[in-house]
Copies of this chain bind each other. A is one copy, B any other.
């Protein structure tokens, strides 16, 4: 039998590409280059081991905590109605199981990212010490590549297998898969984000600010926790987040694809990421550090290269697989946009997504890089003190958020214009998202580079075994890592927005299916100027504010606990400052672990139950407004937080590089304050908004049939209000419990408070400074 380019065969190709990606990730090629490398001195290995143990312990405890949430979500999911071609019970079971698989994959990819990063860090440090710059950089790059390939592999594998098994019902089952992936990623982002920044801020406050000892100084009891945080937050969190974007984007594309392109719409969205796997592989292989070349340039080259290759291959695939005539698709979808050839539509949309990734890369680079005007301006304000640094960073963040949001909006509008109104336009938006996602492999690789090189420097510094040129190399890699982390944040946000917009389309598609002829009433009630919808928009935007506020506050509180513990150790363990006493690193790791897991519940519950409360309480149009408000405000807030934070971080670097007085000057102190404020902005609240908006959209998609069933715009069932009441109560209780904990460091501070302490409380023991 000759092999033809039909749907099943291509889906199998996608599965194969996925498995290949995973195999590559696991293969000796990559792991060999990472794990076989030398591990450095005994000192370095001891430190690395402590970081490994701390990270594994945190993730382990986090998964146990999340297990409870997963079980509850599993049950609730089972209760929600489902419609499809197959048996309803079967679909429910399949959707709930897919939820578990999605959550499991998300956890797995996060764990793997962490596992590899905590092993690569010491090897990078050792390579820098013993073998030089290129080998060190190669290990960091290969580690990133391995996590990146695994991310795309698992995402594609899950989606493609579901399509193979369920065909027309695949979208329904994939809703469960996406929800599991998104929910777990959100929790990992929030928990890991709080962990990493509580440890970082706490370590800095006592170490740099109070005691005047450098970063990663072994005398600081919080240093191990700080390094653990890099891995569980930046690394595990980001990997899970991007995996989830990948999965959710595919879910939305397949739901809309089926409606717009029929059978072909269930296959083409799988081909695009399969191509992404191939190009990521090429990109990664081509990423060889050249002697004397800036590390960032190496990474950027691989990014641009794989983007261009992806675009070309997608064009080839569209011409090979899609018909040139919309009528041949066999759907009733109308092609009333700029193009009516499905192939051109597909190519145009994918290219829009790829171009979007490139534009955001340079936009974010401009606003957070040390070479360009914005960060230099922020750096200059350090001459007039911390307040002006903060103000300059905030206004930079606010403004840059606008440009990024406009670029994303332009991409959405562009794709929509290609496809025209209705489901074809929405599918075009989803395909643009898929185009953006062809870069995920490289993005994850770039991002993982960050914590690995950051940790490598930390281990080198703590061990005291690395100096001279090797230390220089590690500092340079660390700086490159900072910029790649900022850039990947920009792209992760764009991915999230496109995924959420496409999911939003799926939501209204679900409502339309449910309402049938009654849909026109929903349309009339959902106009943006209807007060109920407008209130929905306000509430959706408000949830983004609340979520950000809660996350920032949580970091403040947990960091306070770290401060008290480190102060206590300085006070009670003799000889720490002289280097004769050894701090209890594990204690700090335990405290941060406990606190960040405790803080994780409120934002998580908010994300899941706020849309439930709005949907059942105020109805489907208000829920639509809610999603719109959350997407709009979430986009802006996420970029604002990420770019302000990134700019402060690099403004500090500028000063440390000798500008405006250099290290130790008042200007430096001002930028350290800016950087500390930016920490929870850029690494806790900001990135957690990505999964937030996707989780909320997925919840809306999942509850859409129930919302419509109970409140078909008029015939209100009392059950509707019972559900809304319970959801509201959960949100209110969670928020109240969280806010009763008080702001920064009142409870949860195990050591004696500042007023009873006998050492090192600045307000009491330092003399009032004279000017």
Contacts of A689 in B (CB 8 A): none
Q: Does B771 contact A210, Cβ atoms closer than 8 Å?
A: yes
Q: Does A541 contact B539, Cβ atoms closer than 8 Å?
A: no
Assuming the A-B contacts A633-B632, A763-B661, are A406 and B673 also in contact, with contact meaning beta carbons closer than 8 angstroms in the complex? Answer: no
Asked if A504 is an interface residue, CB under 8 A from chain B, the answer is yes
Q: Which of A349-357, A391-399, A472-480, A715-723 contacts B (4 or more CB under 8 A)?
A: A391-399
Q: Does B660 contact A763, Cβ atoms closer than 8 Å?
A: yes
Q: Does B542 contact A402, Cβ atoms closer than 8 Å?
A: yes
Contacts of A528 in B (CB 8 A): 526-528, 533, 536-537, 621, 624-625, 628
Q: How far is the CB of A215 from chain B (nearest CB, A)?
A: 15
Q: Determine which of B377, B527, B665 lies in contact with A523 in the assembled complex, contact meaning CB atoms within 8 Å.
A: B527
Contacts of A631 in B (CB 8 A): 534, 538
* Most chain B Cβ neighbours within 10 Å, of A392, A536, A628: A628
Q: How far is the CB of A55 from chain B (nearest CB, A)?
A: 25
Asked if A535 is an interface residue, CB under 8 A from chain B, the answer is yes
Contacts of A628 in B (CB 8 A): 528-529, 533-534, 537, 625
Contacts of A378 in B (CB 8 A): 743
Asked if A729 is an interface residue, CB under 8 A from chain B, the answer is no
Assuming the A-B contacts A406-B542, A528-B533, are A553 and B392 also in contact, with contact meaning beta carbons closer than 8 angstroms in the complex? Answer: yes
Contacts of A531 in B (CB 8 A): 412-413, 416, 425-426, 429, 501
Assuming the A-B contacts A395-B552, A401-B545, A762-B383, are A390 and B677 also in contact, with contact meaning beta carbons closer than 8 angstroms in the complex? Answer: yes
- What string of 1s and 0s marks CB contacts (under 8 Å) between A619-641 and chain B? 00100110111011101100010
Assuming the A-B contacts A507-B529, A532-B416, are A384 and B563 also in contact, with contact meaning beta carbons closer than 8 angstroms in the complex? Answer: yes
Q: Determine which of B377, B413, B550 lies in contact with A532 in the assembled complex, contact meaning CB atoms within 8 Å.
A: B413
- What string of 1s and 0s marks CB contacts (under 8 Å) between A192-214 and chain B? 00000000010001000111100
Q: Does B636 contact A541, Cβ atoms closer than 8 Å?
A: yes
Q: How far is the CB of A649 from chain B (nearest CB, A)?
A: 13
- What string of 1s and 0s marks CB contacts (under 8 Å) between A552-565 and chain B? 11011001100100
Q: Does A632 contact B541, Cβ atoms closer than 8 Å?
A: yes
Considering only residues 508-539 of chain A, those with a C-beta below 8 Å from chain B are 508, 523-524, 526-539
A555 vs B381: C-alpha distance when bound (angstroms):
13
A175 vs B327: C-alpha distance when bound (angstroms):
51
Asked if A491 is an interface residue, CB under 8 A from chain B, the answer is no
Asked if A676 is an interface residue, CB under 8 A from chain B, the answer is yes
Q: Does A560 contact B633, Cβ atoms closer than 8 Å?
A: no
Q: How far is the CB of A223 from chain B (nearest CB, A)?
A: 18
Asked if A754 is an interface residue, CB under 8 A from chain B, the answer is yes
Q: Does A538 contact B201, Cβ atoms closer than 8 Å?
A: no
Asked if A742 is an interface residue, CB under 8 A from chain B, the answer is yes
Assuming the A-B contacts A556-B388, A624-B529, A666-B769, are A501 and B632 also in contact, with contact meaning beta carbons closer than 8 angstroms in the complex? Answer: no
Q: Does B390 contact A390, Cβ atoms closer than 8 Å?
A: yes
Assuming the A-B contacts A391-B556, A529-B507, are A743 and B396 also in contact, with contact meaning beta carbons closer than 8 angstroms in the complex? Answer: yes
Q: How far is the CB of A498 from chain B (nearest CB, A)?
A: 11
Q: Determine which of B382, B398, B426 lies in contact with A549 in the assembled complex, contact meaning CB atoms within 8 Å.
A: B398
* Residue of B with least CB distance to A419: B531
Q: Does B560 contact A388, Cβ atoms closer than 8 Å?
A: yes
Q: Does B387 contact A549, Cβ atoms closer than 8 Å?
A: no
Q: Does A763 contact B409, Cβ atoms closer than 8 Å?
A: no
Contacts of A530 in B (CB 8 A): 421
Assuming the A-B contacts A501-B531, A524-B523, A665-B768, are A754 and B383 also in contact, with contact meaning beta carbons closer than 8 angstroms in the complex? Answer: yes
Q: Does A632 contact B629, Cβ atoms closer than 8 Å?
A: yes
Q: Does A552 contact B398, Cβ atoms closer than 8 Å?
A: yes
Q: How far is the CB of A366 from chain B (nearest CB, A)?
A: 12
Q: Does A385 contact B673, Cβ atoms closer than 8 Å?
A: yes
Contacts of A739 in B (CB 8 A): 399
* Residue of B with least CB distance to A551: B395
Asked if A372 is an interface residue, CB under 8 A from chain B, the answer is no
Contacts of A538 in B (CB 8 A): 405-406, 408-409, 631-632, 635-636
A-to-B contact residues, CB < 8 Å: 201, 205, 209-212, 373-374, 377-378, 380-388, 390-392, 394-399, 401-402, 405-406, 408-409, 412-413, 416, 421, 425-426, 429, 501, 504-505, 507-508, 523-524, 526-543, 545-546, 548-550, 552-553, 555-556, 559-560, 563, 618, 621, 624-625, 627-629, 631-633, 635-636, 640, 660-661, 664-667, 669, 673, 676-677, 680, 739, 742-746, 754, 761-764, 766, 768-771
Q: Which 4 interchain pairs have the tightest Cβ spacing?
A: A398-B549, A377-B743, A387-B676, A212-B771
Q: What are 23 A-B residue pairs whose CB atoms fall within 8 Å in the complex?
A: A205-B385, A374-B743, A377-B743, A381-B556, A383-B763, A388-B556, A392-B743, A394-B549, A395-B549, A395-B743, A396-B549, A398-B545, A398-B546, A409-B542, A412-B534, A426-B531, A533-B628, A538-B631, A538-B636, A632-B632, A665-B763, A667-B762, A669-B769
Known: A391-B556, A413-B535. 13 other contacts (CB 8 A): A381-B743, A391-B552, A396-B553, A405-B538, A507-B529, A508-B529, A527-B528, A540-B632, A633-B636, A661-B764, A665-B768, A666-B763, A666-B766
